[in-house]
Amino acid sequence: MKNIKYYLAAILVILLASCEVNDLQPQTALSETTAFETPERIELAVAGVYDGGQSGFYLGGAVRGYPFGAAVHQQGDMRGEDMISTQLFYAITYENTYDPTSPNNGFLWQTLYAMINRANIVIEGIKKTRPSAVLTQEKLNEYEAECRFLRAIGHHFLLIHWSRPFSDNPTAPNGGVPYRTSSVGVVGGASVDEAIAQGRNTVAECYDKIIEDLNFAETNLPATRATNRITRATRAAAIAAKTRVRLHQGRWQDVITEGNKLAPQATAPFSSPIGSHSLTASPMGPFGAGNKNNSESIFSIENNDVDNGGVNGALPTMYGSSASGARGIICISPILWNQSWWLASDLRKSATMVQDDPVTAPGRGGKFTRKYADAVTRTDNSPIFRYAEVLLNLAEALARNSSGVDPKAVALLNAVRNRAVTNTADQFTVSSFATSTDLVRAILQERRIEFIGEGLRWGDIHRLSKDPNFDVGGIPAKANRGISNFAPLYTNNPATTFPMQPAIPYADFRFLWPIPSEEIVNNPTLAKQQNPGW
């Protein structure tokens, strides 16, 4: 947390959005003692927590999509090898030259904790509110569940950047992050001194608290919503989050238990009895024109024409080609493009989903995803959980939990892959895999293709870092950011070579981000618990 006394004092008010989440601009501010006096104000307070996730502060208070509106995607992709920062914009993250003063890292920490503190303020206010005929206990529990859902996924993003994975000594003292369940600096919450004294939990403790929050969310969230159906948390969103979190823990049976709630069928077509989620027919279905309303998106953070990440942060401006009016900053790396398992005929390589940037433009001939289409008004929602991820999470867990090649795992993989791989000869069958390990490898490869531009690559690198078969060894080698012309490098041939930035071993201190300097200066407890090497 940036300068804990300054930042937490600023949270003494609850920033309020309108009662519709699709108007994300803060309208006014109320003290924590008056924000929960009416049902309308509680609705506004909860919407304000979503707003904290969509438009947290940056240098000078600028909005750049911190933390969930865009930043978690961009930072997650820039830490991996499958996309390239063509400009200086993300060079610090891409080239691993960050330090405790780096703003992109620091503001992700600060805005995640700012959102978490908002959630805690609202939870505490709700708990003090007496139920009534117009505001039932069931509705109060639903509001609390939304806040606990956001609190849980916020802490999980903190863990994958500032802590070693669950597979690496999860009970080590101070290995996790501070898991904050009390507001700080407000009436009824913890004092600043109490917050400073808390220190870091263990990784295991953090995961236990995440699951506790998500279990509460699953129990108390609605299955469906008449409005804001993908931009307000639902029961399926909580379950989807648990499949991801349990995957990071390597708890395969728990992933299967949660995944089967949303995909209980033994064979395709798969659909969720909770929330009626299903894959769209096309891999582009959840994006472009379908970004705001589709069957596949389980939870997204809303952006609109008046509140978005701006020209310096919004998803379409960063990920889009300059040919579409975007800035051409983050392009697909030839490292991924040229892999033999990403077939040239895959529709996710087609002009429908990929756009070339002119060699003379900022993107230097790179290939850019079309997932985010609105580079002018920047209204594309930020995808957090999709049904495709749930299916692949479940597929991986089934494959890992089986001594042979699990037929359902193959069917789940095919359900996602065959939307884009339409040549029958190229599609998988159970006999395509000699062992379950081969099947897991194919699922992991599919994740790299399917979730390009959605920031999930770093999470996979992180969780697989101690995997006996799929450990990439740390931060992978990447294409050199200074390549002057990317266009000739997209050959569909894995033997193609080009200048590379060297890998960083897992044991290197740079695998983890440092706790930001503002926090260290103002928080003596965390100053003693800085990640080693920083």
CA–CA dist 263, 388 (Å, integer) = 11
Please say whether the beta carbons of 52 and 115 come within 8 A. Answer: yes
Burial of 198 (C-beta count, 10 Å sphere; 0-12/13-18/19+): middle
* 131 Cβ contact list (under 8 Å, min separation 6): 137, 140
Decide: helix, strand or coil at residue 13: strand
Structure tokens belonging to residue 47:
């919407």
- Tell me the CATH architecture of domain 4-305+382-527: Alpha Horseshoe (1.25)
Token pair 């095919």: residue: 414
Could you tell me the residue ranges of all domains in the chain?
Answer: 4-305+382-527
Task: Tell me what pLDDT residue 37 has.
Answer: 79
* CA pair distance 86, 362, nearest whole angstrom: 7
DSSP secondary-structure letter at 358?
P
What's the number of CA atoms in the CB half-sphere (13 Å) around residue 168? 18
pLDDT tens figures, 183-204: 987 767 777 888 888 999 999 9
pLDDT-flagged residues of the chain (< 50)? 1-28
**CA distance linking residue 471 with residue 463, whole number of Å:** 9
Per-residue model confidence (pLDDT) at position 190: 75
Cβ-Cβ contacts under 8 Å for 125 (sequence gap 6 or more): 32, 35, 36, 42, 45
CA distances (Å), 196 to each of 157, 179, 320, 521, in order? 21, 12, 41, 11
Q: Helix 235-249 crosses helix 137-162 at what angle (to 10 degrees)?
A: 30
Cα 54 from chain centroid (whole Å): 12
Can you give the pTM of this predicted structure? 0.94
pLDDT by residue (tens digit) across 302-356? 999 999 999 999 999 999 999 999 999 999 999 999 999 999 999 999 999 999 9
pLDDT of residue 34: 72
Q: How many CA atoms lie within 13 A of 533 on its CB side?
A: 11
User: What is the chain's mean pLDDT, rounded?
Assistant: 93
Strands 354-356 and 297-301, sheet pairing: unpaired
Which position has the token pair 């950047």? 161
The alpha-carbon radius of gyration of the chain (Å, integer) is: 22
